[in-house]
Structure 1
Amino acid sequence: MTTPARRSWRRVRAVSAAIAATAAAAVLAACGGGTAPAEPDAPPAAPGFPVTIEHAFGATTIEQPPQRIVALGFNEADFVLALGAQPVGVRDFIGAFDEDSRAWAREEMTGPPPEKVGGEEIDLEKIAELQPDLILGVYSFMEQSDYDKLSQLAPTVAQPAAGTTATWQEQTRITGQALGKPEEAEQLVASVEGRFAEASAAHPSFAGKTISVFLSSGNTGGAYVLEGTDLRAQFFTDLGFVNSPDTGEISSERFGLLDKDVLVVLGADEETMLADPVFAQLDVVREGRTYYTGAFASEFNGALGFGSPLSLPHALDIALPELAAATEAP
C-alpha cells in the first residue's frame, strides 16, 4: 500500500515536473516562435482490458493483464495454469497435492514454485509480501471481511454468489475473463465437455443408473452421501449416472440407503469398509458394483477434488475402467 510519505513525495515530483515542463515550453516559444510538442498519448489498453467481473461482493475491474497472480481458491492454481499463467501464490488444498505432485498439472508448471498463502486461514501478510496484481478467489469461500482486506492489496475476484459454488465451467470462464483469455477458456470448456461426452457414448451402461457417492472418514464414524449439487457428484452425473435421492449424513444403521445401482466410496479402501457388517451385506457391495477410490490423498480423489480442466480428464482416465466394471458386474 502507498504510505502518506510516499504520496507526498510523488506530489512534489509531479509538481516539479510540471514546472519544468512549463519553463521548457516558454523557452522554446521565445527562441523559435513554434508551439510546444503535443503530450504523448496514453499507451493503448491491452486487448481484452479493462475487464469488470461481478461476484458475491460487488464488481472488480482489472485494468491490465495480470502478471503476479495469487490463486486463493483451494483449486484455483489449476485454472490459472490451464490458461497459460503461473501463479506466484497458492492456497493449500490437500497436503499430498502440492505443485510437484499433481500429475495432471506438472507439464503446465513452468515457473518457480508458488508461495503458500494459507490453508484453512488466509495469510494476508504473505499475500501482501507477494505484491499481487490479481487475487483470484472463485473457489475460496471468502467472506465479506476477507474481501475487504484482500481488495486493498490487489483487484480481487470472489465466488460468484455468497453461499454458492461455481461449476468448473463457470470457474474456467471467470478465470479466462480475469486473465484476458475468454476464447481460450471457452476452448477449454468445450474440450473437457467433449471428453465427458465421448466417455458417456463409449459406456452406455452408465446411462440412467442410480449412483450413491459416499464420503467416508474410515474408522472415525463420519459418513455422508453427496448431494447432486456437489461438484464431485456432478463428475458422475456428467457421465450419465443419476445421483441418489438419499443424501446427507448417514449412520451405519442406515447403510441400506446406499444400496443403489452403483456405489462409489470416497476416502476409504475396501478392507476398511468391509469391516462394517451392515455395509458388507449390501447387495451393491456383494455383487461387485462398488468402486473404492481409496484415501482422500489418492490420485483419483485429488483430481476429483481439484475439479479443473486439467484434473478432470485425468480423473476420467482413472475412473472409467472401475465404473465400467461396476456397471457391467453380473
Structure 2
Amino acid sequence: MIAKHRYGLIALFVATSFALQGCEKKTQAAAETPAPQAAVSPETNARYEPIVVEHKLGSTRIEKLPQRVVALDMNEVDFLDALDIPLVGMPKDFIPDFLAKYKNAPQIQDTGAIVQPNVEQVYATKPDLILITSLQANHYKELSQIAPTIHFDVDYRDSQVNHIEVIKNHLLTLGSIFEKEKLAQQKVAELDAKVAQAKQITQDRPEKALIVLHNNGSFSSFGVQSRYGFVFNALGVHPASPTVETGLHGQPVSSEFIQQANPDIIYIIDRTAVMERRPALDADSLSNPLLRETKAWQNGRVIFADAQAWYVTAASVTSLELIIDDVIKAYQD
C-alpha cells in the first residue's frame, strides 16, 4: 500500500464537492482530446506543500505541483484521466477503448511499450513526475534520475482482499499530489458504492464461478490467490475451482477440467483478442463442446468479459467499475 503525507499534516482532509473541468471545446474531436495543462504561477508553487510518497521501491518527494506527467502504465493513465490531469507521455501499444482519446493525441509523446518503456523518449518529454507500476519497476532507478518517480504498489500476482483499498489509496495519493483531493474523494465514494452494489447482489447467492483466460485456444484458471482474487474475496463471488495459487498468468487448465468443475458461472477473458488484436470471442465463435456442457453455458451465465479492463488494466477506477459490471451480469436473471 502506498503511504503518503504532507509535511506538517497528519491526515488528508477531504471535502464532499468536486471541481468540474472547464476547458472550452470547439469541435467533437477536440472534446475527445486531452487538453494541455495551464502553466502554474510562481505563487501557486510557493504555497505548495511538499509531499513525500512512501512506496515499495523507496521514498519520493514532490516539491512542486507537477505539470509534465508521464504515466507508463494504463492504470496510471486512467487515474490521471479520472482526476482531469493531463499528461505529456505514455505508452501507446495497448490502449483500452475507455482511454481511446489518448491514442492519437499529438501533445502526448509515445514512450514505447508498457513492459519496456523507451527511457530516451521519457527523458525527451522533460517530465516533472513519472508514474510506474511493477511492470516497469526494473527501470525505477533510471527513471528517478530523470524526475521524481512513484511506484504504484499494486500486486498483479495476488490481489486478495486489499486490491480495492490499494486502488483507492493510490487515487487519494494522486489527489493530494495534484491538489485534487475533493475530486479524488468523490471518485472513491463512487467506487465504494459500486463495490457495495456487487456485494449486495452476490450476497447469499449459491452460484460458483470460474475465471478463465483464453489464449489462442488454451485456457488458464484464476482462483482466490491470483490477480483476480479480489473478485472472490472482495466482491463476494464463490470460486468453483479448488486451485489456490495461480499467480500472474493463471493455472493452465483443459476443457475437461472446466467441464468437470461444472461451474454455474464462467467469466472468459480473451487475452488473444487484446494482444493480437483479433475479434473478441463470443458464444457463436467459441466452438468448444465441453464448455457447452457446463451449467454456466446451459443457463446462459457465460460472461465474455471486457478483456481490456480485466487484462490490460484491472487496477484503476474505470477498469474496476467495468469488471464489477461484468461480475454483476452473471447474476442477472
- With the shorter chain as reference, the TM-score category is 0.5 to 0.7
Structure 1 residue 112, shift from structure 2 partner: 5.7
- Conserved in 2, the CA contact under 8 Å of 1:141 and 1:159? no
Return the alpha-carbon distance in structure 1 between the equivalents of residues 121 and 59 of structure 2: 24
Unaligned ranges ≥5, structure 1? 1-41, 294-299
Match of 2:255 in 1: 252
Match of 2:39 in 1: none
Match of 1:171 in 2: 170
Match of 2:140 in 1: 147
Structure 1 residue 163, shift from structure 2 partner: 7.5
Between structure 1 and structure 2, the one with the greater Rg is 1
- Conserved in 2, the CA contact under 8 Å of 1:72 and 1:140? no
Q: Which structure's residues are more often helix, by fraction?
A: 1
Across the aligned residues of Structure 1 and Structure 2, the Cα RMSD in angstroms comes to 3.4
Question: Normalising to structure 1: TM-score of the pair?
Answer: 0.68
Of stretches 309-318 and 83-92 in structure 1, the one that deviates more from structure 2 is 309-318
Return the alpha-carbon distance in structure 2 between the equivalents of residues 63 and 246 of structure 1: 49
Return the alpha-carbon distance in structure 2 between the equivalents of residues 210 and 47 of structure 1: 54
Return the alpha-carbon distance in structure 2 between the equivalents of residues 127 and 69 of structure 1: 10
Q: 1:198 to 1:221 in 2, by over 3 A?
A: closer
Q: 1:148 to 1:227 in 2, by over 3 A?
A: same
Match of 1:222 in 2: 218
Match of 1:210 in 2: 208
Structure 1 residue 287, shift from structure 2 partner: 2.7
Q: 1:224 to 1:318 in 2, by over 3 A?
A: closer
Q: Deviations over 1:31-59 (max 9, x none)?
A: xxxxxxxxxxx978656631111122210
Return the alpha-carbon distance in structure 1 between the equivalents of residues 193 and 296 of structure 2: 30
Q: 1:222 to 1:89 in 2, by over 3 A?
A: same
Code of the aligned partner of 1:301: A
Q: 1:204 to 1:224 in 2, by over 3 A?
A: closer
Q: Which structure's residues are more often strand, by fraction?
A: 2
Q: 1:323 to 1:175 in 2, by over 3 A?
A: same
Of stretches 113-122 and 70-79 in structure 1, the one that deviates more from structure 2 is 113-122
> Structure 2 matches for 1:240-319, cutoff 5 A?
240-247=236-243, 248-267=251-270, 268-273=281-286, 275-293=287-305, 300-305=306-311, 306-307=313-314, 308-314=316-322, 316=324
Between the two proteins, the alignment pairs up a number of residues equal to: 266
> Structure 2 matches for 1:1-330, cutoff 5 A?
49-92=49-92, 94-95=94-95, 97=97, 99-100=99-100, 113-119=107-113, 120-137=115-132, 139-144=133-138, 146-160=139-153, 167-201=166-200, 203=201, 207=205, 209-217=207-215, 220-230=216-226, 232=228, 234-235=230-231, 238-247=234-243, 248-267=251-270, 268-273=281-286, 275-293=287-305, 300-305=306-311, 306-307=313-314, 308-314=316-322, 316=324, 320=328, 322-325=329-332, 328=333
Question: Normalising to structure 2: TM-score of the pair?
Answer: 0.67
Structure 1 residue 279, shift from structure 2 partner: 1.8
